[in-house]
Amino acid sequence: MPTVSAPTDPAALAAFWQAVKAAVPNFVIPQRFAIRCIGTTPEMNATILNLIARGEKTGTFPLPFQLEKLGEALPQPGDLTVQVKIDGTPRALVRTTSTELVAFKNITEQHTAIDGPSVRTLETWRKIHIPYYTNMMAGYGATFSEDIPLCVERFECIYATP
């Protein structure tokens, strides 16, 4: 059963899986996969999905605290995630290649190199992610600290819609 972070039409998901099967030889639709919506606005979501589709963004930084609150497991190598548009339409299929737990304060440019080109410098990455994690944690009644662990999740895009 998928983990749903955005409403996804079952017919759209079925059509997506058929497109993946047609494009990727010997692909078998998995029984377990996640569905995630990345980005907080339609514009940001579209930009990030395009970067993933072009192979320019090869990872992300999920917050274990939030995953726990959502009842979701930490990503593991081999996990498949359907990245969807804000409206839930499937856009890309990624496979987790590696994960590493790192305290926010210990994130380096070696880590941020997996993010989109405009966010790769540590200064820019921190400028964007401190408010992001602060707001996310506040939504759960918690406070951001630079000691919080992040999951540095590296992935490869194995299929993206045109």
With a cut of 50, say whether residue 106 has pLDDT above it.
yes
pLDDT, averaged across the chain: 93
What percent of the chain stands above pLDDT 70? Answer: 96
Segment 136-156 mean pLDDT? 97
For position 1, what pLDDT does the model report?
30
Structural domain spans, the chain:
3-160
Segment 118-146 mean pLDDT? 96
Question: How confident is the model over 47-102, as pLDDT tens digits?
Answer: 999 999 999 999 999 999 999 998 989 999 999 999 999 999 999 999 999 999 99
Segment 106-112 mean pLDDT? 98
- The residues, ordered by sequence, that sit 6+ positions from 86 with a Cβ below 8 Å of its Cβ are 6, 37, 39, 41, 42, 45
- The residues, ordered by sequence, that sit 6+ positions from 106 with a Cβ below 8 Å of its Cβ are none
Measured distance CA(2)–CA(128) in Å, rounded? 29
For position 10, what pLDDT does the model report?
93
For position 8, what pLDDT does the model report?
86
Measured distance CA(61)–CA(47) in Å, rounded? 17
Fold that domain 3-160 belongs to in CATH: Sulfate adenylyltransferase (3.10.400)
